Amino acid sequence: MAQVQVRLYGTLRDYRPAVDGLPHHPFAVPLPVPTSAAALAQQLALPQELLAGVAINGRAADFQAMVQPDDQVSFFPPTAGG
């Protein structure tokens, strides 16, 4: 089984699994291959209504994009401007 590094931003940090490290640090997640970013979010039990964006290896991606072993996946909540 492969693994990826995941980073959660904003309110999504509340859904970070109980793993070592600070809430803003990335954490490793094992996953079956192939896996989409959406499936990874579901595996992490991230509420769909709190998911506004995803980036894979620092580039904006679609939730249907496939995640590869050793990728870094970042999930972003909706933001409010002022």
Q: How many residues does the chain have?
A: 82
User: Which candidate, 24, 78, 80, 81, places its Cα nearest to that of 48?
Assistant: 78
Integer Cα distance of 50 and 3 in angstroms: 23
Residue ranges of the domains in the chain? 2-76
Task: Tell me how far apart the alpha carbons of residues 41 and 26 are, in angstroms, rounded to a whole number.
Answer: 14
Please tell me the pTM assigned to this model: 0.91
Give the Cα separation of 52 and 29 in Å (integer): 20
Q: Express each pLDDT in 25-74 by its tens digit.
A: 899 999 888 899 999 999 999 999 999 999 999 999 999 999 999 999 99
CATH class (in words) of the domain with range 2-76: alpha beta
